[in-house]
Structure 1
Amino acid sequence: MPMPPDAASLTEFNDLVDRYCAGLLDRESFDKLESILRSSGERRRQFRETMSTHAALNEIADMYEIDQTACDLSGVSLSNVMQQDSPTAGVFPADQRTPSSSHRSTWLAVAVACAASLVISFLFVHYHSDEANKTAAGPDTSVPAQVAENSTQAVRHMDSLLPPTRLVSNRSIALIKSAVDVNWGPSSTPLRVGEVVPSHSVHFESGILEIVFLSGAMMVVEGPAKLDLVSVDKAILHRGKVRCYVPPAAVGFTVETLDTKYLDLGTEFGVEIKPDGKQELHVFDGEVRVDSLVGNQSPQTVLSGEGLQQKSDQKWEKITSDPNQFTNTVDLSRRKTTQGQKSYQAWREYREKIKADPSLVVYYDFDSQTDNPQVLKDLSKNAIDGSIIGCELSPGRWEAKTSLEFKKPSDRVRLNIPGEFGDVTMTAWLRLDGFDRLFNSIFLTDRYEDGHLHWQVKSSGEIDAGIKPADSLRRIYVTSPMLGYEDLGRWIHLAVVVDITAQTLTHYLDGGRVATFDLRIGSEPKPPGAPIPTIRFGKTELGNWRPERAYDNSPVRNLNGRIDEFAMFSRTFSDFEIRELFNQSRN
C-alpha cells in the first residue's frame, strides 16, 4: 500500500533529496524516495522545485541553449503526464535555440520544467505502470506498455549520465590521504592516494601511509606494516606501528591486536608491534583503555605521558611515552615535501627522454615559461605553440610545477596540428574537479571530418574517443565507467593509442590498459565498417571545443579541472612504454 502523505518527516525527505542530487542515493533509499513521491502531491511539488533550482544553477551561468531531446527522453508528453502537478511547458524550435535577452526568462522556465519533469514523470508513470500490472484496471487507469518501457529507458539513460561513487557501492570506510616512499612489495596491491576503500587488509614493506577514517580518526602507519581496516572506528594491527589522532567526533576509535584492545577515550596515541611480537602503547594526549582479549586480566587506563610495554605471559610494564618513536604530522609533511622534490627532479630528467623521441609531434609540459603568458610553449621540434585563452596558471602535480586550470566555458588552448598520421599515441596528466558536462573535453578538433579524432571524459566517468570514418557519422570507443566521484581532485594519467596497422584503439588509465577496440567497429553493437586509413587533426583545442558548425546537441564541453602535461607521438606505444611514462612522471 502507498505510504500516507505525512509518513515521512520533512527532515528525512530533504535528506533523501539532497543525497539524490549529490549522486549518493543507494537503491534502498531511492525506493523510499520513490514511494514518498508516489503518495504525496505536496512532496512531488517540493521535489519539483528543488530539482528546478538544481538544474537552473548547473546550466544558466554558462549556457543559453536547450536541447529539446532532453524533454523527449521518456517518449511521452511530459505535460500530459504531469498535468495534475505542473503547467504545460514548451520548447524552442531548432532555429531559435540561441535566445535574445528578451527570451532568456522564457528559456529558464523551459529548462527548469524539462529537467524537473523528466525525473517526476518517471516516478509517476512508473508507479502507475506497476499498479496497472497488479490490478485489472480499466483503460482509464492503465498506462500503455510502451509508455512504461520508455519511462524505464529514460531513467536508465539518466543513471548512465552519472559517474559511480564507491562511498555507497562498496561501503567505504577510509581514505588514503598520502603515501611517502611506500614500497608495497610483490604480494600487495598498491593503494592510490585519494582512494576510498572498504574493509581492507593493508600491508607494505616500507614507507609511511596516512589513512583518514570516515569517522574522523586519522592514522599514520609506518612500514613494514600489516593491518586490517575493519570499520570507520576500528583497525586490527598485525605488525608495524601506528600513530592515531582521534578528534572528539571519533572518540571510541579502537586499535586491536591478536590479544589486546586499545580503546580511545579522546586521545593521540601510538601502538607498535615489534619484530619479536611484543607490543608497546604510548599515550601522548588524553587517555586509552587497555583490555586483554585473552585471559582474565583487568582493564587498565593509561593517561597522557604514560605507556605500557608488554612482557612475557601477558604482563605489562609501565613506561614513559616517547613521541619521537612515532612519525608525527610535522615529520610526515617534511618527508612529503622531500619526496615531492625528488620526484619532480626525476620527472625533469625523464622529460629530456620524451623530447628526444623522434616520433614526438607536440609536447606541452606546462612548466616552460615564455615571455608571453598567452603562449603555451611546445617543446617538440615542430614548435606548435598553443594559444592560451582564459585559463589561469595553477599548482601542478608538484608544488614547484605549474598547470593550466580550465573553469569557464571560454577557457581553452588553441593549436593547429597539420598533416596525416598512420599511428597516434596521446598522453595527458589531468585533474578533474567535476563531471559538469555530458562530454568533458581533453582534446577535440574544431571540425569533425574523415580521420578526425576526439578525446574526452563523459559525465558518467567513461573515457571516450571518437573517430570520423568515411562511411558513417562517427565511431565511438568508450570504456566502462573508469572514473568516479572519488577521482575528483586527484591527478590521473590518461593515454589513448590508435594503431592504424592493427586497426585498434586502446585506452589507458594510470599506466594500465583498460580497454581495446576494433577501429572498424568501436564500442557499439554494429557490423564492421570500412577501416580507418589515417588520423588527422588540424585546428584543435585542449580542454574545450569550438565546433565550426553544430555537429550534435552537446556544443558546450569545457573541462572543469587542470591539465599538467600533454604529449602526442606519431607511433604506437606499447603497454610497457605507457607504464614507464606513468611511473617516471607521477608525483
Structure 2
Amino acid sequence: MNASEFTDLVDRYCAGLLDQEAFSILESTLRESAERRRQFRETMATHAALHEIVDVYDIDQEAADLHGISLAEIMNQEAAPNATTTPDRGNATRANGQPMWIAVGLACVASLILGFFTLRLGEAMPDNLSHAIVTSDDESIGIRTKPRVPPSNSLLPPTRLVSNRSIALIKSAVDVNWGPASTPLKVGEVVPSHSVRFESGILEIVFLSGAMIVVEGPAKLDLVSVDKAFLHKGKVRCYVPPAAVGFAIETANTKYLDLGTEFGVEIKPDGKQELHVFDGEVRVDSLDGTITSQTVLSGEGLQQKSDQEWERIASDPKQFTNTTDLSRRKTTQEKKSYEAWQEYRAKVMNDPSLIVFYDFNSQAENPQVLQDLSKNAIDGSIIGCELTAGRWEKKTSLEFKKPSDRVRLKIDGEYQDVTMTAWLRIDGFDRFFNSIFLTDRYEDGHLHWQIKSTGQLDAGLKLAKLKRRIYVTDPALGYEDLGRWIHLAVVVDLKSQMLTHYLDGSPVEQIDLRTGSEAGEPGPPVETIRFGNAELGNWSPVRIYDDSPVRNLNGRIDEFAMFGRTLTEFEIRELYNQSRN
C-alpha cells in the first residue's frame, strides 16, 4: 500500500465510511508497519482537533464534564513555570511572550478534545462496525468495543443531529432491495457520514447544503459531508441549487465539481465512468494525475475509454432517472403498498384474539365515531381531533394537537396476555408523558402506554398494594424521528412475566414484569390486566395520581390494535413490514 492509498483509507476511516473489508486492510497495515502506526496517531490527533474546533467551548465543556472538571477552572488555573523560560512572578510567560496559563490551558483543551474524540470514535463508524482501532505509546494495537451510552437525566430526548453531525435526509426510497449486507435506511431519517449500499431500486437523498441526488441501484455511495459524496458504483443524478454550488461527486480517481446546476455520473460494471451535464457546468479534476482538469458544459459529457483516455460525448438525460420518473414510480409504489396493507388488514381482522382494531380509515356516518373493525365493535368517540392525511395519500388519520383532543373508548374484561400496536407520527415531545393509550383509573391491573419527553418508551402497570411498576426503555426516539411515521408495539406476557417494547418491527427492550425498570428484589407476579374506560392520545384521570395530569399527544395516529395474546417477534415484524408505506 503506497502513501496515497493509506492516506485515503485513513481519511475514509475518520469519516466513518469503511466497510468491513477496508477496515480489515487498514487494521492489517497498522499491525505490520510501525511507520503507518505513527502516521495514524498523528492523523487522529489532527482530525480530533479540527473536527471539534467549530464548537470548541460546548464540546470541550462536555468532555471536561466527563472528567468531573470545569473548563473555566482549567483555563484560569495557575501554570507551573516552564524550565526553559525565565519565570516572572507577576505574569509567567513562554519564550514567545504568550501568557503561560494560555499555553497550558490550550494544551489541556487539546488533550480533552483528543480524549473526547477517542470516546466518541466508535459512534462515528458505520452501523456494521461497532469497534474502533486504538493505538498506544508502545505501538500495540487492539479493538475497543463501542461503549453503551447511559441514558441522559435531561427531560429532552437526545438528538443524533448534533452527536453524529448529520449531513443528509433520506427523502424517499422506491422499490429498494437493500440486500443482506446492508442496514436499511428509513424514509425521513437524517443520517451522518454513512456508507449506502443497495442492490436495486432508487434512493432520493437531500443534503443539508440543499443539493439533492437520485441514486439508482445496484449502487454503493458514501455520504461524506454536506457537499460531497463518494461513488463506488451505480448511477447518481445531482440537482444543485445556487446555495449548494460546489457540491462534488468523487470516485477513486476523479472529482466532479458542480458549478451549477444538474449533472449525472455513472460507474459501469466494468469500472469505466461517464459524466453527463444537463444544465450548467461541471469541472472534472483528476485525483491521480492521469487526466488534465477540464470543464464540461451543458449538453456535453465525458466517457472513460481507459485509465488515461477520455472522450467527449453528448449528454443523455434519458440515461438517468429524473424527478418526473421518480415521482411516477413513487406513486406506483405507494399504490402497491396501500393495496398490500388493505390485504393484510383483512388478516388482522380475522385474528380471533383481536380485542379492538381502529384503522382510522373506516368512518361511520357519524364523524365523531371511530369504527372498531373487530368483532367486539368497541367504537371510539372522537373528541376534538381533526381528520387529516395518514401514511398514504389515500389513507386518513386523526390529528391530536389541543389538550382536549382524544378518543374515548371502553374495554371490559380481564386478560392474561396483551399486545398493543400503533402507527403514529410524533410532532413534538410537548409533555413529560405523551399519551398513546391510558386508562382513566390507575388501579389493580390497569396498563398505561406512553412516550416520555426524553424519547423513552414507557409502560406502567398498577398492582394491588403497590403504587405502580414502570417499564421504560433507554431513549429510543429523538428529534430526528419527529414528523415521520413510526410503528410501536408493547407485548405483556404474564406466562413468562416479561414486557417487551418494539420500534419499527424490532424489539427495543425486554423487562421483567416483577421488577420493572426500578432496581431491587423481584416483587409479586402480575396476575391480570384490565382496562375499563380509556383514551387514545390523552388522559382523563378520575383523580390526580401524580404531578403530570396533562398528557395530550402532539401528533397523529392512523392505526391502533389490541390483541388478547402475545404476538411473536416475527408477527410484529410482519405487521410492520406489511403495513408500512
- What TM-score comes out, normalization by structure 1 length? 0.74
Say if 1:157 and 1:168 are closer, same or farther in 2 by CA, change over 3 A.
Answer: closer
- Match 1:381 to one of 375, 382, 386: 375
- Equivalent in the alignment of 1:203: 197
CA contact (8 A) 2:167 2:191 kept: yes
Partner Cα separation in structure 2 for residue 32 and residue 571 of structure 1? 49
SS state of the match for residue 486, structure 1?
A: helix
- Equivalent in the alignment of 1:176: 170
2:416 is equivalent to residue 422 of structure 1: yes
Partner Cα separation in structure 1 for residue 307 and residue 350 of structure 2? 65
Partner Cα separation in structure 1 for residue 234 and residue 482 of structure 2? 31
SS state of the match for residue 185, structure 2?
A: coil
CA contact (8 A) 1:471 1:529 kept: no
Q: How does 1:402-413 map to 2 (within 5 A)?
A: 402-413=396-407
| Letter of the 1:338 counterpart | T
Say if 1:28 and 1:130 are closer, same or farther in 2 by CA, change over 3 A.
Answer: closer
Q: Which runs of 5+ in 1 are unaligned?
A: 1-24, 36-125, 136-155
SS state of the match for residue 267, structure 1?
A: strand
- Equivalent in the alignment of 1:298: 292
Q: How does 1:105-254 map to 2 (within 5 A)?
A: 159-254=153-248
CA contact (8 A) 2:290 2:307 kept: no
Deviation at 1:324, TM superposition (A): 1.2
- Match 1:311 to one of 305, 310, 315: 305
Deviation at 1:297, TM superposition (A): 2.4
Deviation at 1:199, TM superposition (A): 1.3
Deviation at 1:278, TM superposition (A): 1.1
Partner Cα separation in structure 2 for residue 31 and residue 460 of structure 1? 24
| Letter of the 2:565 counterpart | R
| Letter of the 2:192 counterpart | P
Partner Cα separation in structure 1 for residue 55 and residue 246 of structure 2? 28
Say if 1:560 and 1:267 are closer, same or farther in 2 by CA, change over 3 A.
Answer: same
SS state of the match for residue 434, structure 1?
A: coil
SS state of the match for residue 347, structure 2?
A: helix
Say if 1:26 and 1:159 are closer, same or farther in 2 by CA, change over 3 A.
Answer: farther
| Letter of the 1:483 counterpart | L
- What TM-score comes out, normalization by structure 2 length? 0.75
Say if 1:296 and 1:583 are closer, same or farther in 2 by CA, change over 3 A.
Answer: closer
Partner Cα separation in structure 2 for residue 273 and residue 227 of structure 1? 11
- Match 2:496 to one of 499, 502, 506: 502
Q: Which runs of 5+ in 2 are unaligned?
A: 1-53, 79-149
Partner Cα separation in structure 2 for residue 498 and residue 158 of structure 1? 26
Say if 1:281 and 1:398 are closer, same or farther in 2 by CA, change over 3 A.
Answer: same
Deviation at 1:333, TM superposition (A): 1.2
Deviation at 1:160, TM superposition (A): 2.2
Partner Cα separation in structure 2 for residue 360 and residue 488 of structure 1? 30
Deviation at 1:27, TM superposition (A): 8.6
- Equivalent in the alignment of 1:29: 58
- Match 1:577 to one of 528, 553, 571: 571
Deviation at 1:314, TM superposition (A): 2.1
Deviation at 1:471, TM superposition (A): 3.0
Say if 1:26 and 1:499 are closer, same or farther in 2 by CA, change over 3 A.
Answer: farther
| Letter of the 1:402 counterpart | T
Partner Cα separation in structure 2 for residue 157 and residue 216 of structure 1? 33
Partner Cα separation in structure 1 for residue 536 and residue 271 of structure 2? 55
- Equivalent in the alignment of 2:344: 350
CA contact (8 A) 1:201 1:229 kept: yes
SS state of the match for residue 337, structure 1?
A: helix
CA contact (8 A) 1:471 1:530 kept: no
Say if 1:556 and 1:129 are closer, same or farther in 2 by CA, change over 3 A.
Answer: farther
- Equivalent in the alignment of 1:104: none
Which stretch of the first structure deviates more once superposed, 271-280 or 350-359?
271-280
- Equivalent in the alignment of 2:359: 365
- Equivalent in the alignment of 1:513: 507
Write out the 4+ residue segments of structure 1 that deviate beyond 6 Å after TM superposition: 30-33, 126-131
| Letter of the 2:357 counterpart | Y
Partner Cα separation in structure 1 for residue 55 and residue 508 of structure 2? 26
| Letter of the 1:323 counterpart | P
Partner Cα separation in structure 2 for residue 509 and residue 27 of structure 1? 35
- Equivalent in the alignment of 2:540: 546
